[in-house]
Amino acid sequence: MGAQVGMLDDVAAERLRLADDLESLTPGEWATPSLCAGWTVHDVVAHLTLSTRQSVPWTAWRTLRARGNLERAFAEMARERAREYPPADLIVQLREMAHVDRRLALAGELDPLNDLLVHSQDLAIPLGRARDLPVERALPCLRHTWAAPFVGSAKRFAGLRLTATDAEWTEGDGPEVRGPVGALLLAANGRAAGLDGLDGEGLVEARRRFA
């Protein structure tokens, strides 16, 4: 049995919302490049449907096949699944897995929600369909991401102070970068697009680090 999912009701709501949003996409939009380099919208959705289906042995095996590169392994798995399942099938899968309380044991409890919030923007922003992320969901993920050593958020923004303008959250010391939690969450997860929703005297330096 897989590990349990944190904030499962919110995860379910985001999966169902995404499934609804995807219903109106054209074939051309499914083939649009996402914010994830080398991934189409179709690839991103395929990746999200793996959340409740991955096992540690399978993931380890695929990582070995990718010469120890976990990001490459995830990309290959996503593209394979996108080739196997057309958009309509993936939408059905998102709805079927909405309330499934299972995650990869190597992942944190909030990783499924964080992935949904960030990846939904990875595909929505290039399509011109971005929306504000709910603060009550994005803020716990921002705290989680900042503390996760493998993400590197604290290192990326070392010497800068990040401050939310719509919630009680601030981290770091130095010139300030401020904005809504949703934009901060994207930036903390390595998305330069998140910087477009931020301002402050530290923003120029933050942009330089993403260049």
Which pLDDT belongs to residue 1?
Answer: 43
Mean pLDDT, residues 136-141: 98
116-137 pLDDT per residue, tens: 999 999 999 999 999 899 999 9
Query: Contact at 8 Å (CB) between 156 and 142?
Result: no
- Confidence bin at 149 (pLDDT 50/70/90): confident
Q: Copy the structure tokens of residue 162.
A: 């990040």
Mean pLDDT, residues 159-171: 98
Q: How far is CA 143 from CA 17, 71, 140, 152, 168, in A?
A: 23, 22, 5, 13, 11
**Residue 209 reports pLDDT greater than 90:** yes
Query: Contact at 8 Å (CB) between 44 and 14?
Result: no
Mean pLDDT, residues 93-101: 98
- Confidence bin at 150 (pLDDT 50/70/90): confident
More confident position, 108 or 167: 167
Instruction: Give residue 94's Cα distance to chain centre.
Output: 15
- Confidence bin at 45 (pLDDT 50/70/90): very high
Mean pLDDT, residues 75-103: 97
Which pLDDT belongs to residue 183?
Answer: 98
Pairing of strands 176-179, 161-164: parallel
Alpha-carbon gap, residue 25 to 95, rounded angstroms: 16
Which pLDDT belongs to residue 69?
Answer: 82
